[in-house]
Amino acid sequence: MSLTQSERGNVSGYEVVHASREFRTLRRHLGSFVVPAIVLFLGWYFLYVILAAFAPGFMRITVAGEVNIGLCFGALQFVSTFVITIVYRRWARRRLDPQADRLRQRLEVGRKH
C-alpha cells in the first residue's frame, strides 16, 4: 500500500510509516527469523508429542537412574524455548532495533510538525 501526496494529508503518521518501504523491510526481516524459528520449534515439539504417543517404549528408555528419554525431551522443550528467546533478543538488537529506531524517529519528527 502506498499513499499519494493528497492522501497523506488525511492519514496519521502511523499510517504513513505503515505504508513505507522501510516498514515493509522491517516486517520482512522479522519474518526471516520468526518463520524458521516457529517451524523448527513446532517440528521439535510435535516430534516430542508423536514419540510420546507412538513410541512409548523408546521414551521409557532409561538414561540415568530414574531419568528416561521422555523426561529429557520434556526438559529440552524448556531449554529450546530459552535458547530461541536468547537468540532472538541478540538477533533483534542487531537487525531489527536499528530499523525500528529510524522509523520511530521519523514518526516523532512528523508529530512535532
What's the pLDDT at 105?
Answer: 87
**What three-state secondary structure class fits 68?**
strand
Tell me how far apart the alpha carbons of residues 22 and 5 are, in angstroms, rounded to a whole number.
18
Tell me the pLDDT of the chain averaged across its residues.
88
Largest separation between any pair of C-alpha atoms in the chain: 73
Spell out the per-residue pLDDT of the chain, length 113, in tens. Answer: 455 554 556 777 788 888 889 989 999 999 999 999 999 999 999 999 999 999 999 999 999 999 999 999 999 999 999 999 999 999 999 999 999 998 888 888 766 55
Q: Mind giving me the DSSP string for 43-66? A: HHHHHHHHHHHH-HHHHT-EEETT
For residue 9, the model assigns a pLDDT of 60
The pLDDT assigned to 52 comes to 96
Looking only at the bridges linking them, the beta strands covering 67-68 and 62-64 are: antiparallel
